[in-house]
Structures are given as C-alpha cells and as structure tokens.
Amino acid sequence: MKDIIAMQVTMFALIFIGMMAKKRKLVSEEGQKNITDLVIYIVLPCNILSAFMAGSIEGVLGQFLMVLIISIGIQIFSSVAGKILYARKEISHQMSLRYGLICSNAGFLGNPVVEGMFGEMGLAMANMFLIPLRVMMWSSGLAIYTRSNDWKGTIKKVVTHPCILACIAGILVMSLQISLPDILADVLQTVGRCNTALSMMVIGMILAKADLRQLFDREVLLYSVLRLVLVPGLVYGVCRILSMPYLVTGICVILTGMPAGATTSILASKYHADEIFATRLVIASTVLSMITIPLWGMVLTAV
C-alpha cells in the first residue's frame, strides 16, 4: 500500500504547484482557461486512447465480460442515484455532485493500484471496467454541465466531443487488436502522460481561490462517504452474493471506491458551475481515500 500513498502524495504535490503558480500570478485567468481547454480537447483524448491501447481480452473473455457488465450496472446506478439524491441541491452543486458520483479517479489512481494488487491481468481488466465509465463521463456526465434543452444539439455535441471520439476509437483498437504505427502510438502516449500533471495543477489553480477551512463541510463529507464507502460496499456485497471470481470482485470494488475524478473540477470550471465546490469534492474525497483504499485492500485480501 506504500505505492498507493506515494501516488496520492504526488497528486497533492502537483495540486500545490498549481496553487502556487496561480497565487504568484504565473498563470492568469485566461491562461488557466487555455490550459483547461488544452486538457479537455487534446490531452484527455490522447490519454483515453492510449489507455485502450494497453488493453487485451485474450484468454479470460468470460471474466472480462463480467467486469464490463458490472461496470455498466454501476454507471446506471450512479446516474439514477445521483439524480434522486441530489435533486434538491442548488444547481451549481447538483451538477458536480451528480458528475462526481459517475466519474471517479479510476484511471489515474485506480489503474496503478489495480496493477500493484492484481498484476498485468488485473490492469487489462481495469481497462475493460473503464470503458462504460469513460463513455458515461463524456456523454450523460458532460450533458449534466451543458444543461441544454436542445437534446438533439446536446447529443450532437456529446457524440462529436473529442473524448467520446477517443472512447469509440479506443474500443475499436482494443477489441480488434489494431496496432497503430509506432510514431502515432508514441505521440498519443507522450501527450496522454501530461494529463495527470496538467489536471492536478488546474485543480490547484482553482483551489487558490478557495477557503480551505470549508474543505470538509457536511455536504462534501456525505458525498465522500457515498463515493468511497457505500457504493463500493454495495458492489462488494453483490459480487459476494453472486459468487463472482476473486479477481473480478477485487477490480470492481477497488475501482468503484476511487475518489472524485479531476474532470469534475475541470468541467465545473469550464461551464461556470461553482468550480471551488467541485474542487473541494475532489480534494476531500482524495484525502479520505488515503484511508479507505488501503482498508478496501485489507477487506479484499482477507476474503
């Protein structure tokens, strides 16, 4: 579990760098907006596509399909639960709470944790788990922030969004085992690796305007308990009842129990949906995950 703590410390270090850059006026408001757009329209699509390139379903197709089905169920549950639980919240908070329940940090933080616990096969299955999450976060998740009554126009924007196009291309690449030219693959991976650093620093820039004394209020704590404990606990219970294989159960529980994804803050900033509140969700749930992720690891290894 030392590697898990090290990854989370790295995240906080990057957030601190972004915060200092903003406080020292090394980055202006316009510069922050430009970096946000760079992440959403270029860096994230490259990161998504390169992640799919690492996947493989050879040998254990049955377990891969189990992971995929469970992941789809989790996304449906998260979408419905968020809409019901947060219906009476003020709209700017409702957006980030709903999106944060759908979109976790299962990519950056989850993949290394799964690899450390379950090896390369676990990492391959994690990429399968992430397919529905990535599709949802850039379809219905993105629609939460756009709030357009023109559903035809909204669907068109969502379907043509670079991150959704990257998901579609990634699914084809992984399922058909397409080998991209080495130069193209290197470019995608190199640009994609910038995602963590840039996303965390943008969060730090947003946090520079926040009151840290209000980081752990009741609303944020309740969200964190739901995100980190209750939902993965439900997944764990269902997997045990259905006698799912250990590897399938472990991957689904660990990835479901990840903190709010950095894109919660990124999108809240882009669509002016109280980005400070969204950043508090990301920071607080990430801090608390330093306790809950090792605990879930202990629960799983004790089975």
> Domains of the chain by range and CATH?
2-302 (1.20.1530.20)
CA–CA dist 218, 117 (Å, integer): 33
257 in Cβ contact with 228 (< 8 Å): yes
Is the torsion defined by CA of 13, 15, 17, 20 positive or negative? negative
pLDDT per position as a tens digit, 112-170: 678 778 876 777 788 788 888 888 887 778 888 877 655 666 566 667 778 778 878 88
Mean pLDDT, to the nearest integer, of 259-273? 88
Tokens 């992971």: give the residue.
Answer: 67
CA–CA dist 111, 130 (Å, integer): 9
pLDDT confidence of residue 157: 64
Residue 2's pLDDT band (boundaries 50, 70, 90)? low
Residues in contact with 168: Cβ distance below 8 Å, sequence separation at least 6, in sequence order: none
> In the 3-class helix/strand/coil scheme, how is 57-68 assigned residue by residue?
CCCCHHHHHHHH
pTM for the whole thing?
0.76
pLDDT confidence of residue 26: 93
Mean pLDDT, to the nearest integer, of 6-23? 84
Least confident of 58-72, 110-124, 182-196, 275-289: 110-124
pLDDT per position as a tens digit, 73-121: 999 999 999 999 999 999 999 999 999 999 998 876 777 678 778 876 7
pLDDT per position as a tens digit, 55-64: 655 556 788 8
**Is the pLDDT at 241 greater than 90, yes or no?**
yes
CA–CA dist 254, 123 (Å, integer): 12
CA–CA dist 73, 172 (Å, integer): 22
- Take residue 278 and report the two structure tokens written for it: 């969204």
**More confident call, 250 vs 261:** 250
Query: What is the pLDDT of the chain when averaged over all its residues?
Result: 84
**Is the pLDDT at 254 greater than 80, yes or no?**
yes
CA–CA dist 25, 29 (Å, integer): 9
Q: How many CA atoms lie within 13 A of 31 on its CB side?
A: 10
